[in-house]
Copies of this chain bind each other. A is one copy, B any other.
Amino acid sequence: MVGFGIIGCADIAQKIVRTIAKTEGCSVVAVASRSIEKAEQFCASLDLPATSCTRYGSYADLLGDANVQVVYLPLPTALHLEWAPKVAAAGKHLLLEKPAGLTLQEVQEMVSACAANKVQFMDGVMWMHHVRAPKMREVVQSGELGKVTRVASSFHFCGGEEFDEDNIRVRKDCDPLGCIGDLGWYQIRAIIYLLQELPSSASAYVHKRSREGVPTSCSATLFFDSGKFATFDCGFDTNLRQELAVSGSAGTLACSDFVLCKSVDGSEFSVGSMVFQEGYGPKGHGLESTVEVRQGG
């Protein structure tokens, strides 16, 4: 049994806790917030019994819990560099909410801390572990689309007035990358994952910023030495869309729910008029992905 500890009671943590609960061999054994009351509330709302899940009013206390083998860290990005290395130093595997860090250097530092302590580093990009993702990559890499040169993606949701005012994703001290970290992160990952190449340069326009100067609407282009390019736009100001299109001389792979499947009953993507569908077996395989966690060194 793999014991998960949750540090921080962000909304996204609720989804993860429910997923852990559904995953064979895993359970949430501890939850920490800055206040014990908040940890209690979080556990109560998710039916995590006090008998099997310890509540902590301090992040550090959770790190001392011997039952915790993996820490899921959904703290605001600006706090990752402080807490991720502490998780590693405590000998716990790390599941780090995305975006992993604010700079490449920050991420490298966290990855190094995990390596030095012989624990697993994983960032919270779920869709890549979905059964659909490698199928999509297979099609892109197969040559079926002809010569692939172009990826276009749009990923937005409409946050609304309250969100625009004080959601952590528009606050400089929390998630200063704004929509680029929150949405563009997925798009960049999808582009790199599907093309299997790293861009050589990038260009971005920030169209809108929050009161604190955090990007809330952006469009960007990634350039590849091979001549390929990818464009993506993301923002908190238009309705939910999650489009991804990979185009080649002979066809285009299109997926309009690449991050969050629109249906829990199945997922799909298309190439021209052909639709690829993935069902979910009786074991509930699919949305709940199985993650193997390396135990110890």
Contacts and interface: CB of A to CB of B under 8 A. Distances in A.
A90 to B, nearest CB: 43
B233 A241 contact: no
Interface in A203-241: 203, 205, 207-208, 217, 219, 221, 223, 227, 229, 231, 233, 235, 237-239, 241
A143 to B, nearest CB: 14
Interface residues of A, number: 36
A247 B156 contact: yes
A120 interface: no
Number of this chain's copies in the assembly equals 2
Given A245-B241, A249-B158, A205 B203 contact: yes
A146 interface: yes
A238 B149 contact: yes
A227 B207 CA distance: 7
A207 B233 contact: no
Contact of A239 (B146, B154, B238): B146
A147 interface: yes
A123 B217 CA distance: 34
Contacts of A147: 237
A30 to B, nearest CB: 40
A246 to B, nearest CB: 9
A132 to B, nearest CB: 21
A171 interface: no
A167 B144 CA distance: 26
Interface in A98-152: 145-147, 149-150, 152
A69 interface: no
A27 B207 CA distance: 49
A174 B231 CA distance: 29
Interface of A: 145-147, 149-150, 152, 154, 156, 158, 160, 203, 205, 207-208, 217, 219, 221, 223, 227, 229, 231, 233, 235, 237-239, 241, 243, 245, 247-252, 272
Minimum-distance CB pairs A-B, first 3: A238-B247, A158-B249, A219-B231
